[in-house]
Amino acid sequence: MKNFLWALKFLTIIPIDREDKIKPKDFGSVVCWFPVVGLCIGMFLFAVYLPLYFFFPPLITDALIILVFIAITGALHLDGIADTCDGVWGGWNKEKRLEIMKDSRIGSFGAIGLICLLGLKYLSLHSIGEISTIHNAFFGDNTKCISCFISPLLVNKCAALLLMPVVGRWAQVGAAGLSQYARGESGTGSFILGGTTRRHVIYASLLPVCLFWYFYGLSGFTIFAIIIIFTLVWIWYIKRKIGGMTGDTLGATNEIAELLFLLSLFIFR
């Protein structure tokens, strides 16, 4: 439980262990809990979305749930994608890119990246409608009676909210286990990248695979394959730019994977 609680403290703003007494010995075992923490975040978003849905129009509800998502994670990964955009596209060599990424100030590339990411996330979530594949899965069979009272649109959105944080945190584990740390000195991502192996990636994959199968059936495996391919391509791209991963690029991996998951749902409408 120490590993889980530390992962929950690291990935959210939930006030756990304020005195910093939890010290996991093996950070590789900690990252295996990342998808589980993602599921906890998804359940929280689901619990918040339902009352918002019945009090506000869909346009406002979807915007509010994005804000809640940012708040519960402390904008940790958004900071990572902003720094990654500034560094990767603002520098002309590895050293300069890493230097820019350490700068706490946001540049034009970071601002553009944040606007595009949040805008696409909001539009994707708002546009989720009837997804036929969800009715061919076990989840669809279990929600046929519920759909008589609740809009299928709401059911699909809640399923997406549950899985989106899981996908992002799995992508972090995948990127950490299949790459190396780019910086010479220690940083936020060094302990994650240093302690994560391919074995941990396999363990962390068990929960997402089961959830995709339950919610989307065979199509879920295709969606998960898209996320895996993205992670591999992203690792290759970042390695070319800065020689490996950092804490910022892991955060960017999380955010882009979440967006890609939402976009992938439209392939199977």
Q: Looking at the domain assignment, is residue 40 inside a domain?
A: yes
Q: Looking at the domain assignment, is residue 13 inside a domain?
A: no
- Reported as a single tens digit per residue, the pLDDT across 218-235 is 888 999 999 999 999 999
Q: Looking at the domain assignment, is residue 149 inside a domain?
A: yes
Q: Looking at the domain assignment, is residue 98 inside a domain?
A: yes
Distance CA(59)–CA(222), nearest Å, equals 29
Confidence of residue 131 (pLDDT cuts 50, 70, 90): low
Tell me whether residue 9 is exposed, middle or buried, using C-beta atoms within 10 angstroms of its C-beta: 0 to 12, 13 to 18, 19 or more: middle
Closest CA to 228 of 245, 212, 217, 248: 212
Q: Looking at the domain assignment, is residue 135 inside a domain?
A: yes
Tokens (6 digits) for 19: 């005195």
- Reported as a single tens digit per residue, the pLDDT across 46-65 is 999 999 988 999 899 999 99
Q: Looking at the domain assignment, is residue 19 inside a domain?
A: no
Q: Looking at the domain assignment, is residue 4 inside a domain?
A: no
Confidence of residue 217 (pLDDT cuts 50, 70, 90): confident
Q: Looking at the domain assignment, is residue 1 inside a domain?
A: no
Angle subtended by helix axes 198-216 and 152-177, to nearest 10 = 170
* 157-164 average pLDDT score: 92
* 110-118 average pLDDT score: 95
Closest CA to 42 of 157, 176, 206, 202: 157
The total number of structural domains in the chain stands at: 1
Interior angle at CA 135, CA 165 and CA 68, nearest 5:
25
Per-residue pLDDT at 138: 61
Q: Tell me if 159 sits within 8 A of 167, measured CB to CB.
A: no
- For the chain, the residue count is 269
The answer to whether the pTM exceeds 0.85 is: yes
Domain assignment of residue 205, given as a range: 32-268
